[in-house]
């Protein structure tokens, strides 16, 4: 087939993701699409995928994506005339210990919150469903009837036919060799046979997505990993409608195929393929069988299904799959390029995700915005750190090894650490800090008292740091705590047009006089919350922007993308220029006043202001703001001065009971005060009015801003959901988030975040109460509430106000 000289959109990669994206672009949006595949359709990793299709994830949006896949696979053959091999056999997940059983009961609760009927089964019920299985070691199992399996090649060919039916041109045997660029924009795709001009490129190149992206200066942090499974000879007594099985405690999975079993697993010692480029010629190829490495799965599989010991093996499949450093796939527009979108790194979930991923990626390409809260898979969750191929490889192998391990709350990755440390790292380590990692930064999560091992010990109940964090919490409430938050992402916007630019992108009024700071959201066109940050005006043409560590790439890219055309304003990332020390607590003013000559009284330095002060001979940007609900300042110091200033504050604070505190105390403190967390309580799916943040939206000002029209519609209509706070009386109940909210015994939503409030002495959760006919304070107050925690109903109390009032040192429960 000859190549066109131009195409509106070029999709690169003919696996399930590329074909699904092309199909949806053409069918849903009538786009002009050209799909280029360097070999044959499915010839990369799609053709050898095992084909299990599960739907449930902890994210409601990602679960929606997976459910869309199932719905599509059910009906695609009717449209295209090509079978997909879809079989709704259901899926069993087996639990062999109490921690796993608790995890599964929480999973079942989440499933029901998402309107999915996940059943809890006894070992005898599992045996009745799967007679060939040894269930002697089982505690129980879950069963999701709507899960199933499909044939990866058949689905992809059906999607490809559907794409052609809607006008997509598919060219096989056409390798992309480069891109023509105009600044950060691709103008044409170069191939061996010619150059094709285009408006947009969608990189769905699978394990080649990383090196393809590099041709345009784009980082796609994925790692090919060898994944093996076997296909057995037929087994007597194995029915064709046998449920698929995930046996995570034995690290294996099973599905029925032509009377036999497909069996594979996720080993703790996975094998990377290459940290270099994947050969272009790797088409319909596999690696040599590695029975020595696979033996660990065979032993576990035979113990689970004894009939396997006397069953022949027809074939071993040992092929590469693209995995990522956090186990989540990669979608969205690359931050380094204006018009390249990516759909890659599916962690062996490509078949389960393919239909839905193509749908949302097509929506994203056409509108420039994600249609749902897709933060967990957004390519902007990565940073420059992820250009280090060896670091990505090491972390990805750890993530692969955790694929079937118990998902303990608050669990941290261990590989590639420490990578980025603040100047306080050794000082905090000497004070027995236990660190976590966020976007490569080492951050103190808690401090171990003498006699306590400075290390997390994971469990499904209260963990070993619980009491220590309580002491840090009380120090901040009663005296003063000092937090190292140097990992905060920080930006400066400068120029004569800076104020106008900030007015255009911020929902709150930020162009206040110099010396003021503002908490604000940045909204998408739907009125959802894309960013949640603080903006300090240092001068008429100079703004200082602070946001969360993990949102550095996301928020920086969002701001740059949405600065008005022709704006005389330049955004600069200054994260590594400044350390940040947060001094918080009722004695914070006493400590700060002792180390600076600046007037720290409330009259001279009120809340919501920023001043430059001097501490230990260094200039400091002092921002009077709090995320813990106490008097306090964020002290932004030249990074090299952070140690001197920390020492000065600790010395001056000794008389006031100062102590270093960690991020787990911050979480407890902010829950009591009712502060929202982006990515959980507030997301691109949520309006500020639904989140109780309408006061921070400048609708009363005659100022246009991104998302204003949608915000006005929400503000002037009955709310369908509203964020509320819940507490439970039983101190033994551990809330983590995703627990179901019941109002008068009926489903009303689920918790978005949760933890323990040490001042109030209760577990606390936040979640949206939903009602199609509208939700207001009267509706909220008139209900009787319960939370479903690991399938058990627990009485709960709803609160419309923050639980803790620092101004009056009052607990409101």
Do residue 377 and residue 233 come from a single domain? Answer: no
Dihedral angle computed from the Cα positions of residues 753, 757, 761 and 766, in that order, rounded to the nearest 10 degrees: -30
Do residue 98 and residue 204 come from a single domain? Answer: no
Question: Quick count: other Cβ atoms within 10 Å of Cβ 231?
Answer: 17
* Consecutive 10-residue averages of pLDDT for the chain (813 residues): 88 98 98 98 94 88 94 95 93 97 95 92 98 98 94 96 98 97 97 96 98 98 97 96 97 96 97 95 95 98 97 97 97 98 94 96 97 97 97 98 96 98 98 98 98 96 97 98 98 98 98 97 98 98 98 98 94 98 98 98 98 98 97 97 98 98 98 97 98 98 97 98 97 95 98 97 97 97 97 97 73 55
For every residue of 121-183, DSSP letters joined together read: E-HHHHHHH-TTS--TT-SEEEEETT-EE--HHHHHHHHHHHHHHTT-EEEES--EEEEEEET
Instruction: State how far the Cα of 61 lies from the Cα of 686, in Å rounded to an integer.
Output: 12
pLDDT for 5: 87
Asked whether residue 443 is assigned to any structural domain, the reply reads no
Instruction: State how far the Cα of 757 lies from the Cα of 765, in Å rounded to an integer.
Output: 10
pLDDT for 57: 86
Asked whether residue 397 is assigned to any structural domain, the reply reads no
Asked whether residue 353 is assigned to any structural domain, the reply reads yes
* Runs of H (alpha helix) within 632-722: 642-653, 663-673, 708-715
Asked whether residue 470 is assigned to any structural domain, the reply reads no
User: 477 phi and psi, to 5 degrees?
Assistant: -70, -35
- Of 686, 115, 59, 687, the residue nearest 377 (C-alpha): 59
| The two structure tokens encoding residue 153 | 């090649």
Q: Among 555, 574, 593, give the residue marking a domain's end.
A: 574
Asked whether residue 305 is assigned to any structural domain, the reply reads yes
Residue 810 burial by CB count (10 A; 0-12/13-18/19+): exposed, middle or buried? exposed
Domain that holds residue 348: 6-84+150-222+326-381
* Runs of H (alpha helix) within 693-790: 708-715, 777-781
Non-local (6+) Cβ contacts of 623 within 8 A are 517, 534, 536, 546, 610, 633, 634, 635, 636
Do residue 157 and residue 121 come from a single domain? Answer: no
Instruction: State how far the Cα of 70 lies from the Cα of 86, in Å rounded to an integer.
Output: 8
pLDDT for 812: 55
CATH code of the domain in which 79 resides:
3.50.50.60
Do residue 117 and residue 238 come from a single domain? Answer: yes
Do residue 119 and residue 212 come from a single domain? Answer: no
- Of 239, 237, 255, the residue nearest 247 (C-alpha): 255
CATH code of the domain in which 309 resides:
3.30.9.10
CATH code of the domain in which 555 resides:
3.30.70.1400
Residues 533 and 676: beta-carbon distance below 8 Å: no
CATH code of the domain in which 740 resides:
2.40.30.110
Do residue 496 and residue 566 come from a single domain? Answer: yes
Residue 288 burial by CB count (10 A; 0-12/13-18/19+): exposed, middle or buried? exposed
pLDDT for 808: 57
pTM over 0.85: yes
Asked whether residue 641 is assigned to any structural domain, the reply reads no
Half-sphere exposure of 307 (CA within 13 A, CB side): 15
Do residue 229 and residue 309 come from a single domain? Answer: yes
Q: Among 336, 358, 381, give the residue marking a domain's end.
A: 381
Do residue 807 and residue 724 come from a single domain? Answer: yes
pLDDT for 340: 98
Asked whether residue 139 is assigned to any structural domain, the reply reads yes
The DSSP element (H or E) to which 257 belongs, if any, is strand 252-257
Do residue 134 and residue 96 come from a single domain? Answer: yes
| The two structure tokens encoding residue 490 | 């920080």
How many domains does one find in the chain? 4
Q: Among 317, 343, 363, give the residue marking a domain's end.
A: 317
Do residue 206 and residue 121 come from a single domain? Answer: no
Asked whether residue 334 is assigned to any structural domain, the reply reads yes
Buried b (16+ CB within 10 A) or exposed e, 8-17: ebbbbbbbbb
- Of 445, 662, 438, the residue nearest 552 (C-alpha): 438
Place of tokens 């608790």: 102
Instruction: State how far the Cα of 554 lies from the Cα of 485, in Å rounded to an integer.
Output: 19
Instruction: State how far the Cα of 13 lies from the Cα of 127, in Å rounded to an integer.
Output: 43
The DSSP call for residue 759 is T
Non-local (6+) Cβ contacts of 96 within 8 A are 137, 138, 139, 249, 250
| The two structure tokens encoding residue 743 | 């109002």
- Of 483, 484, 520, 526, the residue nearest 504 (C-alpha): 520
Do residue 376 and residue 239 come from a single domain? Answer: no
Q: In whole angstroms, what separates CA 352 from the centre of its chain? A: 18
pLDDT for 608: 98
Q: What is residue 672's three-state secondary structure? A: helix
Strands 792-799 and 721-728: antiparallel
Instruction: State how far the Cα of 413 lies from the Cα of 425, in Å rounded to an integer.
Output: 18
- Of 36, 355, 21, the residue nearest 170 (C-alpha): 36
Q: Is the dihedral of CA 687, 688, 690, 691 positive or negative?
A: positive
Do residue 140 and residue 233 come from a single domain? Answer: yes
Residues 156 and 358: beta-carbon distance below 8 Å: no
Instruction: State how far the Cα of 379 lies from the Cα of 316, in Å rounded to an integer.
Output: 33
Instruction: State how far the Cα of 444 lies from the Cα of 427, in Å rounded to an integer.
Output: 11
Question: Quick count: other Cβ atoms within 10 Å of Cβ 809?
Answer: 12
Q: In whole angstroms, what separates CA 781 from the centre of its chain? A: 32
């Amino acid at each position: 087939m000859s190549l066109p000289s131009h195409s509106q959109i070029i999709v690169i990669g003919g696996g399930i993701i590329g074909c699904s994206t092309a199909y949806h672009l053409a069918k849903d949006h009538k786009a002009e699409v050209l799909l280029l595949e360097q070999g044959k359709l499915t010839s990369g990793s799609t053709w050898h995928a095992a084909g299990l299709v599960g739907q449930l994830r902890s994210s409601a949006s990602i679960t929606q994506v997976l459910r869309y896949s199932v719905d599509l696979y059910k009906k695609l053959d009717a449209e295209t005339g090509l079978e997909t091999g879809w079989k709704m056999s259901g899926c069993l997940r087996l639990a062999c210990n109490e921690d796993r059983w608790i995890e599964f009961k929480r999973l079942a609760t989440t499933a029901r919150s998402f309107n999915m009927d996940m059943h809890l089964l006894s070992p005898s019920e599992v045996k009745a469903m799967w007679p060939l299985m040894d269930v002697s070691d089982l505690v129980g199992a879950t069963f999701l009837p709507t899960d199933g399996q499909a044939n990866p090649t058949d689905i992809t060919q059906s999607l490809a036919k559907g794409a052609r039916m809607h006008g997509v041109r598919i060219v096989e045997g056409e390798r992309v060799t480069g891109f023509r660029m105009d600044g950060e924009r691709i103008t044409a795709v170069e191939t061996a046979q010619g150059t094709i001009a285009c408006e947009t490129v969608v990189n769905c190149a699978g394990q080649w997505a990383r090196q393809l992206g590099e041709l345009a200066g784009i980082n796609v942090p994925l790692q090919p990993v060898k994944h093996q499974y076997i296909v057995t000879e037929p087994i007597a007594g194995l029915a064709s409608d046998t449920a698929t099985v995930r046996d995570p405690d034995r690290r294996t999975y099973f599905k029925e195929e032509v009377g036999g079993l497909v069996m594979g697993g996720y080993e703790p010692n996975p094998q990377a393929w290459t940290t270099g480029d994947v050969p272009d010629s790797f088409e319909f190829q596999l690696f040599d069988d590695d029975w020595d490495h696979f033996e660990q799965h065979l032993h576990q599989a035979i113990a689970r299904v004894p009939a396997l010991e006397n069953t022949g093996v027809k074939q071993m499949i040992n092929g590469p799959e693209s995995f990522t450093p956090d186990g989540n796939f990669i979608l969205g527009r690359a931050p380094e390029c204006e018009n390249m979108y990516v759909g890659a790194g599916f962690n062996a979930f490509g078949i389960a995700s393919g239909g839905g991923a193509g749908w949302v990626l097509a929506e994203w390409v056409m509108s420039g915005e994600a249609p749902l809260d897709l933060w967990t898979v957004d390519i902007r969750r990565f940073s420059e750190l992820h250009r280090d191929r060896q670091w990505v490889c090491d972390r990805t192998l750890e993530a692969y090894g955790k694929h079937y391990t118990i998902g303990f709350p608050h669990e941290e990755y261990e590989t590639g650490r420490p990578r980025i440390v603040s100047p306080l790292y050794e000082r905090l380590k000497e004070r027995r800090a236990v660190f976590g990692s966020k976007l490569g930064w080492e951050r103190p999560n808690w401090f171990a008292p003498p006699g306590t091992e400075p290390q997390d010990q994971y469990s499904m109940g209260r963990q070993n740091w619980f009491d220590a964090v309580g002491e840090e919490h009380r120090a901040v409430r009663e005296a003063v705590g000092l937090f190292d938050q140097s990992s905060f992402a920080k930006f400066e916007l400068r120029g004569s047009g800076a104020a106008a630019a900030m007015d255009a992108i911020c929902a709150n009024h930020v162009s206040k006089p110099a010396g003021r700071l503002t908490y604000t959201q940045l909204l998408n066109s739907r009125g959802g919350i894309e960013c949640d940050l603080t903006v300090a005006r240092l001068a008429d043409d100079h703004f200082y922007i602070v946001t969360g560590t993990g949102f550095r790439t996301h928020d920086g890219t969002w701001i740059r993308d949405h600065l008005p055309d022709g704006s005389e304003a330049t955004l600069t990332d200054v994260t590594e220029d400044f350390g940040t020390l947060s001094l918080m607590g009722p004695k914070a003013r006493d400590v700060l006043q002792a180390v600076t000559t600046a007037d720290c009284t409330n009259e001279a330095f009120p809340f919501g202001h920023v001043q430059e002060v001097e501490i230990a001979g260094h200039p400091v940007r002092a921002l009077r703001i709090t995320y813990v609900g106490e008097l306090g300042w964020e002290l932004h110091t030249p990074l090299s001065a952070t140690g001197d200033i920390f020492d000065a504050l600790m010395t001056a604070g000794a008389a006031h009971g100062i102590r270093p505190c960690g991020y787990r105390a911050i979480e407890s403190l902010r829950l009591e005060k009712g502060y929202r967390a982006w990515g959980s309580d507030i997301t691109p799916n949520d309006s500020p009015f639904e989140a109780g943040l309408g006061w921070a939206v400048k609708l009363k000002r005659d100022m246009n801003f991104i998302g204003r029209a949608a915000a006005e519609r929400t503000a002037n209509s009955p709310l369908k959901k509203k964020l509320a706070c819940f507490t439970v009386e039983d101190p033994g109940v551990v809330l983590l988030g995703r627990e179901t909210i019941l109002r008068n015994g009926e489903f009303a939503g689920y918790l978005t975040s949760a933890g323990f409030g040490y001042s109030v002495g209760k577990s606390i959760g936040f979640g949206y109460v939903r009602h199609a006919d509208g939700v207001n304070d009267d509706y909220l107050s008139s209900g009787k509430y319960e939370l479903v925690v690991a399938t058990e109903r627990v009485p709960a109390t709803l609160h419309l106000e923050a639980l803790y009032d620092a101004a009056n040192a009052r607990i409101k429960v």
